[in-house]
Structure 1
Amino acid sequence: MDPAQIQIPQRVDPSVDGKRLRCSAMPAGPLSKDADDTGSSPAPLDDENLLQEILLRVAPLPSALPRASLVCLRWRSILSDPQFLSRYRKHHRKPPLLGFFAGNTGTSYSFVPLPIMKPNRIPEERFSVPKSSSSYDHWYFLGCRHGLAVMVHDSGRVAVIWDPLTGRQHRVPFPPGLCNAKHEGLWLWHTAVLCADTEDGHVHGDCFSSPFRLILMCGGYTQAFACLYESISGAWGNIVSTVTTDAILRLRPSILIGNAVYWLFVRGDILAFDIETQTLGVIKKPEAAHHTNCYSFQLLRDDSYLGFAVMSKPSIQLWKRKSECDGALEWVLLQKTIHLEALFPQEMRIDHKKAEMVGYDEDSDVIILSTYIGDFMLQLKSMRFTRFSKRNCWSHKTHYPYRNFYTAAFIEYPHVIWVMVHRSCFGRTKMHRGALGSSIPQAVHFLPRTKMLVPMWMQARTC
């Protein structure tokens, strides 16, 4: 090669921007066909299928999907698609714990969010529990399962299936055979709700539109009755009964294990209802389990076995009902005894170092403990002890855990994603809504008392 034809690289001025530097470094000349095809290939996020796979892996936090939907109309269209939301639930499988519905029997219940940082902390008023129009008439809150809550209206003889996410309700009148029973005023009513969707891969969390089952139970000190309602047929099954020697404990929710639902009696025995055979029976508590008050016992779901927790202050003893060699089911005391004093904060006063069991999350095997300084979650397998509320008094409110995928904004307001709140000098409030890309009304730009501009998902229930 002729030395005169060799090009010597020139020193590049560092002030030249990156784009010009790349242009100057590239040799001029025609591009090959392959290179042209590569350069015209779409960006990864322009690929619809790839984008959906990425969005499927967004963490199931309350603010995750609503915030992602603010990126652009295309993202929001994907995230609000019912088919995508169904895939999202199946991918994550287990709905996150959003908080608890807490209260005392015969009084109103309220939502207690988990103590996490904003924007994932859901406001208490977001899930407003339905109430009776009369102050003398109560709806008894009796549990949550599969994204649904269930209440009983005693005097109206009706069960209410409520979806906290959307506020929608199913009202199911009691079966005539129980409504017209004698001495019904002396009975206590309890109930359980569960999703009955048999679709392969179905994930609980948005079950309001799916088939559901409702088990209604009532009884006194000598007899208990139960009946199964199927939403598919819209009819009640046969009323079954069993002899009892105790009253049902309304302070405790039901426990679902396999095809059976269990409730606690006041002194610790257990009422069992088999969903498939629709039979009712009584299981005796462990003989060594001693009753002191209504908070002494708690039913557990230990894998596929029925578990039993006994508060023996200041410790918790754990039992499991297992099959023996002859096939008979017996209570077995587990070697694991939980000493609560070792878990309490060191600065906690000695006279305050006691607790009551006031709830249980069957999906994560967590007992809710109430103390003088607040409420705690105790995970029985990992022994993780987490405080989620603070106070300086005793409280015995029952806590019902609520799990669901938070997609309320897409369900209620699929096209509205921002709200402008304006309060006039006369105290009147006006709200302007719009979709991504729409312009804010001209009159709103110059309003002197415009308060906030927020994503719609945070204001969905108040607008």
Structure 2
Amino acid sequence: MRSRRRRSWPATASPVEDENLLPEILLRLPPEPSSLPRASLVCKRWRSILSDPDFLKRFRRHHQKPPLLGFFRGNSMSTEHHFTPVLDSPDRIAAARFSVPNNSNKHWNFVGCRHGLAILVNMCLRQVMVWDPLTGQEHRVACPPGLVFDPEVHLVYWEAAVMCADAQDGHVHGDCFSRPLKLVLIWVIGYRKAFSCLYESASGLWGDIVSMESTDMMFGIRPGILVGSALCWVLCGANVLVFDVQSQHLDLIKRPVDCPMNTTSYGFVQVLRMDDNRLGLAYLSKLTILLWERKSNCDGVVTWVFLQKSIQLQQLFPRRMFTRCKKMIITGYDEDTNVIVLSTIRGVFTLQLDSMQIKHICKRVGLCLDTFYPYTNFYTTGELAGDCANLKCEHMRCTNILSLLKK
């Protein structure tokens, strides 16, 4: 009787040893700041993969949406701006990690962030600066030649915005400093006349200055948001100044007729980016946030529509919050994560408008009047506020991921 020999199969490499599979597994680490720095401590091989620029591009492309790391905060009365982290340990980034450049000139005003980049304006030097908080790189652009006014004579309100203009298929915003950029500068002179101008880094030139006049007073410009191809800034009085980047057209959208607003209600109104890239408006009335959205009516005319889903803040905050004072103002908004910033006498809070989740981000006694500029990006390397050197803990976490993917 012939004995049967057992057929031997070649040994298969484990996911940890597979040269092709391991990068695919590491791509699926969470996009939080501690993930890649801590995983890179496991071994030299992992560190080599995680530090590869091509891997980092794939990592951003896989996750698409960068996390909200924190806010740069400051006010128009001061050029001092500081970073306020919002993530918990071990993902919390030290506030000192992002030091806003001041150089030797103290007249740089921080005016916003988008696509991982910050923008500052110095009207004394007539310059705009694009700054990458992750790398510290700076790029200065002289203001358009037609920007002529005497601050001693004219009362001028101005704002600016930056956006990545990379149209390459698959590009995910985050590493955009060396990519084509667009800058938009707007300013209002004498309450009635607004101007705007677009700069494109691809040509290194400013476009034509666009202007418009309004019978309504225009002042108190809040930081802008990007809705589709339009940059939108809300003014005191809830009118919205809109600049379409594609058509380079400047317009003013009147506030909703049913919005209980007056021209002095700064801090109670905020433009929002709604679903399907529609423009929205939030108005804080006592402890209730009322909402409007721009929609087309049956005749195809776009108008403000009042939404029934008002937000009752008393139901979200602890009762003790409002025993002494019910004062609250809106001090910021992140268009990417749909997070609004609320300042109270007990500190500053974020409110995620989809989940209605409240988070305390800044302790304070008294109402904070600073503006909070959101900063979102993939933080894939660098120092964290927490201890990221616990190799054993991180090795166990990554091993658990591998074991789950082997099943």
TM-score norm. by structure 1 comes to: 0.77
1:310 to 283, 286, 297: 283
Tell me the amino acid that sits aligned with residue 42 of structure 2: V
SS in 1 for 2:174: coil
Aligned counterpart in structure 2 of residue 62 of structure 1, from 33, 45, 48: 33
Alpha-carbon spacing, 1:309–1:67, altered in 2? closer, same or farther (3 Å)? same
- Pick one of 168, 171, 182 that aligns with 1:202: 171
Asked if 1:127 corresponds to 2:98, the answer is yes
Cα distance in 2 for partners of 1:48, 1:247 equals 60
Work out the CA distance in 2 between the residues paired with 1:263 and 1:161.
19
CA distance in 2, matches of 1:156, 1:246: 28
Structure 1: 4+ residue segments shifted above 4 A? 29-32, 181-185
Show CA shifts across 1:4-39 (max 9, x none): xxxxxxxxxxxxxxxxxxxxxxxxx9986x52x523
Confirm or deny that 1:233 pairs with 2:203.
yes
Q: Whole-Å Cα distance in 2 between the matches of residues 48 and 398 of structure 1?
A: 48
Matching residue of 1:147: 116
Displacement of 1:85 in angstroms is 0.4
Q: Which residue matches 1:263?
A: 233
- CA distance, structure 1, for counterparts of residue 328 and residue 306 of structure 2: 21
In the aligned structure 2, how far is the partner of 1:400 from the partner of 1:153? Answer: 18
Conserved? CA contact 1:357–1:370, under 8 Å: yes
Q: In the alignment, residue 233 of structure 2 is paired with which amino acid?
A: W
Distance in 2 between residues matched to 1:309 and 1:349, nearest whole Å: 21
State the partner residue of 2:351.
378
Amino acid at match of 2:141: V
Distance, in Å, in 1 between the alignment partners of 2:320 and 2:48 is 52
Which one of 252, 257, 269 corresponds to residue 287 of structure 1?
Answer: 257
The question of whether the paired residues in 2 share the 8 Å contact of 1:300 and 1:308 is answered with yes
1:328 to 287, 301, 306: 301
- Aligned mates of 2:193, 2:317 — CA distance in 1: 41
Distance, in Å, in 2 between the alignment partners of 1:225 and 1:147 is 26
1:112 to 84, 100, 107: 84
Per-residue deviation, 1:173: 0.7
Q: Which runs of 5+ in 2 are unaligned?
A: 390-407
| Matched residue, 2:60 | 89
Separation (CA, whole Å) in 2 of partners of 1:249 and 1:194: 23
Q: What amino acid is the match of 1:208?
A: F
Q: How far 1:132 moved relative to its partner?
A: 4.4
Structure 1 residue 185: Cα displacement: 5.0
Shift of 1:347: 2.2
Matched letter for residue 98 of structure 2: F
Are 1:163 and 2:132 counterparts?
Answer: yes
Query: What's the counterpart of residue 242 of structure 1?
Result: 212
- Residues 353 and 343 of structure 1: is their aligned pair in 2 closer, same or farther, counting only changes over 3 Å? farther
Instruction: Return the alpha-carbon distance in structure 2 between the equivalents of residues 348 and 80 of structure 1.
Output: 46
Q: Is the 8 A contact 1:242 1:281 kept in 2?
A: yes
3-state SS of the aligned residue for 2:46?
helix
Taking the TM superposition and a 5 Å limit, the aligned residue runs for 1:340-359 are: 340-359=313-332
Check conservation: 1:216, 1:228, Cα contact below 8 A: yes
In 1, Cα distance between equivalents of 2:4 and 2:24? 37
* Equivalent position amino acid for 1:299 in 2: V
Larger radius of gyration: 1
Within the alignment, does 1:277 sit opposite 2:261 as a pair? no
C-alpha distance in 2 between matches for 1:409 and 1:49: 27
- Asked if the contact 1:106–1:138 (Cα under 8 Å) also holds between the matched residues in 2, the reply is no
Q: Which deviates further from its counterpart, 266-275 or 401-410?
A: 401-410
Higher relative contact order (CA 8 A, sep 6+): 2
Residue 93 of structure 1 aligns to which amino acid in structure 2?
Answer: Q
Q: Which amino acid aligns with 1:233?
A: S
Q: What is the rounded CA distance, in whole Å, between the counterparts of 2:365 and 2:150 in structure 1?
A: 45
Task: Tell me how far 1:349 sits from its aligned partner.
Answer: 4.1
Question: 1-side partners of 2:219 and 2:72: how far apart?
Answer: 21
Give, in whole Å, the separation in 1 of the partners of 2:96 and 2:25.
32
Q: Is the 8 Å Cα contact of residues 132 and 138 (structure 1) preserved in structure 2?
A: no
Question: What corresponds to 2:272 in structure 1?
Answer: 300
The CA RMSD over aligned residues, in Å, is: 2.2
Aligned partners of 1:106 and 1:139 also within 8 Å: no
Q: Which amino acid aligns with 1:196?
A: A
Distance 2:20 2:173 in 1: 25
Q: Secondary structure at the match of 1:84?
A: helix
Give 5+ residue unaligned stretches, structure 1.
2-28, 411-416, 419-463
* Structure-2 residue corresponding to 1:452: none
Pick closer, same or farther for the CA change 1:296–1:349 going to 2, 3 Å: closer
Residues of 1 paired with 2:319 and 2:154: CA distance? 48
Describe the superposition over 1:274-330 as per-residue Cα deviations: whole angstroms up to 9, x where unpaired.
Answer: 111111111101122213521121101112111011111121110111111111111
